[in-house]
Amino acid sequence: MEKSIFERFLHVGLFILVGGSLIASNMSFQGAQISSYGEINYPTLVDVGVDFSKVIAVNNLSLGVQIEHEWPNLVKYSELQNKFVASKFEIVRFFIVHVQPCINWNETTKTGTYDWSKFDYLMQTIKNVGVENILMSVGHTVINGLPRGMEQNHNNTGFPNPSSLAAYLKDIAVHVKSKGENIRYWEPLNEPYQVFSNDTAYRAFVDLFNAASDAVLQVFPEALFGVDISNIKIFFDRFVYDGRNVGFLSFHKYDASGTLLWHPEGYLSDDEILRRAGVLGDSSRYTPRQMLDKWRSIRGADLPVFSTETNMNSAWINGTDPRIQEVIGAVWYAEELRAFITNGVARSVYFHFASDDSRRWEIDKQTKGYGFGMLNMTPPHVEWYPYLTNYLFGNNLNGGDKIYNSSSSNPAAVSTLTWVSNNFYNVLLIGKTKDATKVGINVRNANIKNGLVSIFKIDENDRKLQVIEERFANSFTVFENGYFVILLRFS
């Protein structure tokens, strides 16, 4: 059988020399034997089977991103805007605190004094980069998000006065509407963990959520509301009865919570982080499908599920996890998106778009991390590995695309996702081991037009997305040495 150029050149680091020649074979792994002189590290062997006659799901996922402190740079640099557009984001989330329009709040009259300049500047920038769907959250925490002068601990509940927050959000909605714009999605508070402290706090949050959503609906009748702890069982088991005007269910997903320099018990190994990437529920958290099913069974409605914040590691004290921007960050993100797609998640918001090594909260940069971004917010706006994954998904997977059956003989080492989009077959391979890996791919029931395959590759050999075009056969082999994300696309 003739060897393809793809087999000879798409391998990285697995060089097996026998009499000075490179060995690559399409034979089944079952009987493969590799000869060599001296010591050799044998690769992890994985078989991937794809069947384009069996539809197993329909993609519902679209990608989004958080805009945080980098918003002035997004306004300033056209190149940053161009890379934003190229990512094909369909929703943007931001904290109102970063462009706080309320200079002062009068708690007695429930009115505020406003300067809308920064807020309008950000809203216009989002419009300029072509994103229509906006999700606004009050802020990082109750304390950071509220305007100056607004009571932060009404009746010792840990929350503001519901009527004050309702009036504040209505002021924002009225202003947005006066500009001929719209904010479709609202989270009245970000991560309101105080609800777990006692019943009084829980009731206070429900009153706050219901009052705020009632107020905004007077201005935007089609607005949708959610709270980002909807997957927490002890909260959701009550909120499913008490929440009013709920339009989406949302959750946050960070798979590690520490570094070697802060909260080290939350700093996880590469293997554990990649294992957790595909896990969406546990003993204390519902999976997206469990949330949907519970809401449907009790409230009789089907709601979309959003991940409104996600990143590999949430730690920031003494610096962020440097692995976020490395190739493992791309692999983690791909594996998570794969899990979102197969579990019916509708929106995924990456936290956040751009950062650098000058974050004020990363004291002394002890970890040498670059924040949470997927690319550098200052020139030359270097694209980090998660950006490449986002670009790959955003430009090749659309809502409504059919997901087809595919399987891996070793999903812990290599997982896979298969779909058809715009008359292209797509086979995604996610390599989750540091070892050399040999992947044999067998494709069935694909009506290939021209015998060519476009190969989009992310690995540690190049910090850019590598694109190769080769001849295609129904079975072929991929060699990689370490973590990788590869998309095979053929017509």
The verdict on 115 and 70 lying in the same domain is yes
The reply to whether 211 and 190 lie within a common domain is yes
21 and 102 co-located in one domain: no
Structurally, the chain folds into a number of domains equal to: 2
CATH number of the domain bearing residue 317:
3.20.20.80
Q: Look-up: residue for tokens 């200052």?
A: 378
In this structure, are 316 and 461 located in the same domain? no
| Residue ranges of E strands in 142-262 | 185-187, 224-225, 249-256
- Shared domain check, 445 and 347: no
| CATH of residue 460 | 2.60.40.1180
CA–CA dist 471, 276 (Å, integer): 36
Share in percent of the chain as helix, strand, coil (round to 5): 30, 30, 40
Residue 382 and residue 414 in one domain: no
Contacts of 243 (CB under 8 A, 6+ apart): 206, 209, 210, 227
Pair 40, 165 in one domain: no
Distance between CA atoms of residues 71 and 110, nearest Å: 29
Clarify whether residues 48 and 149 are in a common domain: no
What was the pLDDT predicted at 196?
Answer: 83
Range of the domain at 470: 5-57+402-490
H or E stretch covering 375 = strand 375-376
Query: What is the per-residue pLDDT for 392?
Result: 98
The answer to whether residues 22 and 64 belong to one domain is no
Pair 190, 266 in one domain: yes
The residue from 394, 422, 448 where one domain ends is: 394
Among candidate residues 348, 363, 394, the one where a domain is terminated: 394
What's the CA gap between 440 and 474, in Å, rounded?
11
* Pair 127, 179 in one domain: yes
Please report the pLDDT score of residue 142 as a whole number: 65
**Domain end call among 394, 414, 440:** 394
pLDDT of the residue at 364: 53
371 and 438 inside one domain: no
pLDDT at 193: 86
pTM of the model: 0.90
Per-residue pLDDT of the chain (491 residues), as tens digits, is 333 333 433 343 333 333 332 223 333 333 232 333 344 567 899 999 999 999 999 999 999 999 998 999 999 999 999 999 999 999 999 999 999 999 999 999 999 999 999 999 999 999 999 999 999 998 766 667 899 999 988 999 889 999 999 999 999 999 999 999 999 999 999 999 888 888 999 999 999 999 999 999 999 999 999 999 999 999 999 999 999 999 999 999 999 999 999 999 999 999 999 999 999 999 999 999 999 999 999 999 999 999 999 999 999 988 899 999 999 999 999 999 999 999 999 999 999 999 987 654 445 568 888 999 999 999 999 999 999 999 999 999 999 999 999 999 999 999 999 999 999 999 999 999 999 999 999 999 988 777 888 999 999 999 999 999 988 777 788 999 999 999 999 98
| Predicted pLDDT at 475 | 78
Q: Are 137 and 185 in contact (CB under 8 A)?
A: no
| 387: nearest Cα among 132, 89, 17 | 89
